[in-house]
């Protein structure tokens, strides 16, 4: 009875909390790390907005076009930033995945904004969805494996909580898990 709405709210809470942490991290960092934190905050809040249960908020149809434009611009920025490091490639894939999910939600046959995820309506290309799922499974496993040694070595005084490396990894891991959940329901 409360399954889809409850899971939607949990996804909203997880993604919004992750986006909030990334904003705090953005204030505490500089340079490339600041840009990465900004991109992750955008991704977190965008995913929170897409995960809102349709029973709570049914936005106008033009909202999906705004999502596609915002994440299309983020993908373009990611494409231009790929030469600066490997994590920008992950931002590029994430932004393109968000554009893909937005287009799939707006596709004919989808029940409208925000209902593609909760109603189980398929609107994506199975091969592309499968490829993204494989990418995010690999990313989750890699991030989880990297998180264990960092958490074990985190004893003693360290950097401020907003820049703790294990919190940054946990933030990225939670967003990748949320992306997996959104792709599975596509």
Q: What is the pLDDT of residue 117?
A: 45
Q: Are 16 and 45 in contact (CB under 8 A)?
A: yes
**Residue 28, burial from CB neighbour count under 10 angstroms (0-12, 13-18, 19+):** middle
186 residues of the chain, pLDDT tens digit each: 334 788 889 999 999 999 999 999 998 888 888 888 898 999 999 999 988 887 777 778 888 899 999 999 999 988 888 777 666 788 889 999 999 998 888 876 554 444 444 434 456 889 999 999 999 999 999 988 887 765 555 555 555 666 777 888 888 999 999 999 989 888
Rounded CA separation 126/114 (Å): 19
Q: What is the pLDDT of residue 108?
A: 67
Q: What is the pLDDT of residue 93?
A: 92
Q: What is the pLDDT of residue 156?
A: 53
Q: Are 51 and 12 in contact (CB under 8 A)?
A: yes
Q: What is the pLDDT of residue 113?
A: 42
Rounded CA separation 43/20 (Å): 11
**pTM score above 0.85:** no
């Amino acid at each position: 009875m409360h399954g889809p709405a409850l899971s939607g709210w949990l996804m909203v809470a997880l993604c919004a909390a992750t986006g909030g942490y990334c904003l705090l991290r953005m204030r505490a960092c500089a340079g490339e790390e600041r840009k990465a934190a900004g991109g992750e905050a955008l991704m977190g809040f965008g995913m929170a907005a897409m995960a809102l249960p349709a029973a709570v908020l049914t936005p106008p149809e033009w909202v999906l076009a705004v999502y596609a434009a915002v994440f299309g611009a983020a993908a373009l920025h990611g494409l231009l930033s790929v030469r600066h490091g490997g994590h920008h490639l992950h931002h590029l894939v994430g932004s393109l995945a968000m554009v893909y999910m937005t287009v799939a939600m707006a596709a004919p046959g989808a029940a409208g904004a925000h209902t593609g995820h909760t109603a189980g309506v398929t609107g994506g290309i199975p091969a592309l969805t499968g490829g993204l799922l494989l990418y995010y499974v690999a990313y989750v496993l890699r991030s989880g494996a990297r998180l264990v040694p960092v958490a074990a070595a985190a004893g003693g005084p360290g950097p401020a909580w907003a820049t703790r490396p294990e919190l940054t990894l946990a933030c990225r891991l939670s967003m990748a898990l949320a992306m997996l959940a959104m792709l599975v329901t596509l």
